[in-house]
Amino acid sequence: MSYEKELKAAKKAASLAAQLCQKVQKALLQSDVHSKSDKSPVTVADYGSQALVSFVLGKELPTDSFSMVAEEDSADLREDGGQETLERITKLINDTLSSDGSYDLSPLSGEDVLTAIDSGKSEGGPSGRHWVLDPIDGTKGFLRGDQYAIALALLDEGKVVLGVLACPNLPLQPIGNSEKHSLQCQAGCLFFAEVGGGTHMQSLDGSLSTKVHVSSTENPAEASFFESYEAAHSLHDLSSSIATKLGVQAPPVRIDSQAKYGALSRGDGAIYLRFPHKGYREKIWDHAAGCIVVSEAGGVVTDAGGNPLDFSKGRFLDLDTGIIVTNKKLMPLLLKAVRDALSESQATPSL
């Protein structure tokens, strides 16, 4: 089955959301930061991105059965102190839609925006179609002026069938250890993949797309690996132990968000390791788009036991310990190193 129409809509939605996010990041003020129950920062752009994606998908793919699993809901904005923030979000969305010019419509109201945000309350599951959205993946990177992504995927009967990663600050050229990810070089990548169709990349300004492929390296000594920038998001010591066992010589490349999946899909590095702290439950929106972008580029994404990720169980992934990503040639070696490092860490009380 072809998802050409859906992929076109997803690219449009993620690209417009990226434009909105870029505006906010340029003028980032401390007053943009809210606090959620889990204390992670949420910005005006987070809500605006989700509302804009929801709106664009609804316009491009009108249906009575629209379903989206997304990170945010409008509860905070509906409280007494939320009106000013809602007004700013609404203005941002209307300005973005107006400058794009694709839709001939009256400006959206605050209530329109709240409704669009709350269209992301679906629980997903194994049947039907569900969009999966992280409106800003890598919020801390966003706040630092560094890497973040708008990550959008489509589930059909529990399987990820397409994914789009809009990475406004990811350089178009390969990134590596020697580079600081400078925003001075040309940046802004859009990765997109459809099941059976490979993975492509283009610049966010709409240049011609090119097909991308994961690194073909078979030698771990030549492989570099990505991991989360924030130590709170992944066990860096465990990743280091795995890299040592593999014989990886390059230091890790630490960047925020699913931009790592995009960079890996085009061969910037060969391995991505993510081992959250005990008790953390991975959400499907943190990996759905990245997973298909890498797998359609020839890579493999599994949990630490070598099992494929299962996106059909609702809003969370039930995982064996962590997530590992690499090419097909390196995966057997990586799995062995992961197993050995995990067994050692479990046998060591200090870990």
Residue 127: Cβ within 10 Å count: 11
Active site includes 96?
Answer: no
Tokens encoding 346 = 């479990």
The answer, yes or no, to whether residue 120 has pLDDT greater than 80, is yes
Find the mean pLDDT for residues 230-250.
81
Q: Which of 333, 339, 340 is nearest to 219 (CA)?
A: 333
Q: Which of 292, 247, 290 is nearest to 272 (CA)?
A: 290
* Adjacent-strand bridge partners of 271: 225
Confidence of residue 206 (pLDDT cuts 50, 70, 90): confident
Q: Which of 182-196, 214-228, 253-267, 279-293 comes out lowest in average pLDDT?
A: 182-196
Global pTM reads: 0.93
* Adjacent-strand bridge partners of 327: 299
Q: For the structural domain made of 4-212, what CATH number should be given? A: 3.30.540.10
Domain borders along the chain are 4-212, 220-347
> Among 32, 43, 46, 303, which one carries the catalytic annotation?
46
Average pLDDT, the chain: 89
- Which residues make up each annotated binding site for Mg(2+)? 71, 134, 136-137, 286
Q: Which of 67-76, 151-160, 274-283, 298-307 comes out lowest in average pLDDT?
A: 274-283
HSE value, Cβ hemisphere, 13 Å, CA-based, for 320: 14
Confidence of residue 321 (pLDDT cuts 50, 70, 90): confident
HSE value, Cβ hemisphere, 13 Å, CA-based, for 132: 34
- Which residues make up each annotated binding site? 71, 134, 136-137, 286
Q: Which of 146-150, 154-158, 174-178, 300-304 comes out lowest in average pLDDT?
A: 174-178
Active site includes 46?
Answer: yes
Handedness of CA 323, 244, 252, 164 (dihedral sign): negative
> Among 139, 199, 321, 326, which one carries the catalytic annotation?
139
User: Which of 3.30.70.20, 3.40.190.80, 3.30.420.40, 1.10.1200.10 would CATH assign to domain 220-347?
Assistant: 3.40.190.80
